[in-house]
Amino acid sequence: MAALAPSAGGSAARQGLAARLPAFPWDALAAAKQRAAAHPEGLVDLSVGTPVDPTPPSVRTALVEAADSAGYPTTVGTPALREALVAFVRRYRGAPAELGVDGVLPTVGSKELVAHLPFQLGIGPGETVAFPHIAYPTYDMGARFVGAEPLAVDMAALAAEGDAALGGAAAAGRIRLLWLNSPSNPTGEVLDVDQLAAIVRWARERGIVVASDECYALLPWTVDESPSILDPRVNGGSLDGVLCVYSLSKQSNLAGYRAAFVAGDPGLVGELLAVRKQAGMMLPGPIQAAMTAALGDEEAPAAQREIYRARRAVLEPALRAAGGEIHGSQAGLYLWTTFGEEAMETVDHLAGRGVLVAPGMFYGEGGARFVRVALTASDERIAAAARRLERP
């Protein structure tokens, strides 16, 4: 049978979406990666924050025990998973006792939710999605996917100045969704309770949904805490209009499981559930069982945090010895570093030492003279990077 040619309309639609998207940034690192890989002692890849340590035994056991999973899973999650999610956000994210199972929902990783939340909230052309001015690029992509306007915002300025940080009330009036990311990827900066509370008050006065990406919250280094939008100190005792997005990829080495969730305003969570049921966006049954086990395992994330603390203690002084200045980096898996030059110059000279890092302009114009250096490599590779950086 001859293959069917795509219709003109279908081709145009695909071209229309592609035209709204920038080039995939990581493709720009191919030459630097090749150069770094040519180092006699091999590549040290500190460009991508993907976990390299083992998945906790408790999680793997739960996955195997749930492997006989012939039926369809539910989008809302098993009762055990929903209860585990509620217990987790109460214990670790300051959620109030009033938050119950109707305020939590498992997701297929956090990136898919970040990318598709504007769609699931019914946002479209003529409306705006705002996000931090130095940020994970998927917030921007989510706006572009639905034809909305992406708007990069200095969140510290927004907390302090309100509308003035956006250029006036007119710009604020078009915003339907405001993303927060604390601790930040890539900068590691943490917004404090007062800053978060000011942003939530400002957004509520304008009917803006606030979604807070808190995936790195259990990895604090130079701060006492990373407050959550679920905390009554931040939201004034009401979950109206607020969502917390969280992933187990980092703290439990579950990136390959795509285990994440959203929690907050039960009304908003219910809207997301209704859309996701129609779209078949459900976490596989064995993964739900594994995620339930991970949420109840307090020892494994604590042990993993100490592994990252030790790697940071090796890498941070090495970057400084090489001439780098570290900014932010109060929490999370990255050292946000500048060598006083354009980011790609730093990428190139570190690649010459066999170390690959991510250029800061991947995350916005404000990162043009920074690089993001990940702690997610083995102890041996972190030590190798430190040796290379410390050499003159």
In the chain, % of residues over pLDDT 70: 94
For the chain, the average pLDDT equals 92
* 3-state per-residue secondary structure call for the chain: CCCCCCCHHHHHHHHHHHHCCCCCHHHHHHHHHHHHHCCCCCCEECCCCCCCCCCCHHHHHHHHHCCCCCCCCCCCCCHHHHHHHHHHHHHHCCCCCCCCHHHEEEEECHHHHHHHHHHHCCCCCCCEEEEECCCCCHHHHHHHHCCCEEEEECHHHHHHHHHHHHCCHHHHHCEEEEEEECCCCCCCCCCCHHHHHHHHHHHHHCCCEEEEECCCCCCECCCCCCCCCCCHHHHCCCCCCEEEEEECCCCCCCHHHCEEEEEECHHHHHHHHHHHHHHCCCCCHHHHHHHHHHHHCCHHHHHHHHHHHHHHHHHHHHHHHCCCEEECCCECCEEEEECCCCHHHHHHHHHCCCEECEEHHHHCHHHCCCEEEECCCCHHHHHHHHHHHHCC
What is the reported pLDDT for 214?
97
CB 367 within 8 A of CB 185: no
Sign of torsion over alpha carbons 185, 188, 193, 198: negative
What is residue 5's predicted lDDT score, i.e. its pLDDT?
A: 42
Give per-residue pLDDT as tens, 29-38. 899 999 999 9
Predicted confidence (pLDDT) at residue 206 exceeds the cutoff of 50: yes
The overall pTM is greater than 0.85: yes
Spatial CB neighbours of 357, under 8 Å, sequence gap ≥ 6: 46, 47, 337, 346, 347, 350, 371, 372, 373, 374
Res. 9: pLDDT tops 60: no
Q: What is the pLDDT of residues 341-381, one digit of tens each?
A: 999 999 999 999 999 999 999 999 999 999 999 999 999 99
Residue 297 has pLDDT above 50, yes or no: yes
**pLDDT per position as a tens digit, 214-259:** 999 999 999 999 999 999 999 999 999 999 999 999 999 999 999 9
Measured distance CA(301)–CA(250) in Å, rounded = 9
pLDDT bucket at 392, cuts 50 / 70 / 90: low
275-301 mean pLDDT? 95
pLDDT at 14 over 70: no
Tell me: the pLDDT tens digits for 266-287?
999 999 999 999 999 999 999 9
Residue 1: is its pLDDT beyond 90? no
Task: Provide CATH code, domain 26-54+300-390.
Answer: 3.90.1150.10
Residue 7: per-residue pLDDT? 42
pLDDT value at position 3? 42
pLDDT digit string, tens, across residues 91-137: 999 999 999 999 999 999 999 999 999 999 999 999 999 999 999 99
The predicted pLDDT at position 16 comes to 66
**pLDDT-based confidence at residue 49 (cuts at 50, 70, 90):** confident
pLDDT range class, residue 24, cuts 50, 70, 90: confident
- Identify the band that residue 153 occupies on the pLDDT scale cut at 50, 70 and 90: very high
- Give the CATH number of domain 57-296: 3.40.640.10
- Residue ranges covered by each domain of the chain: 26-54+300-390, 57-296
Does 15 score more than 90 pLDDT? Answer: no
Provide mean pLDDT across the span 332-337.
Answer: 97
pLDDT tens, residue by residue, 74-88: 999 999 999 999 999
Question: Regarding predicted confidence, which is higher, 193 or 48?
Answer: 193
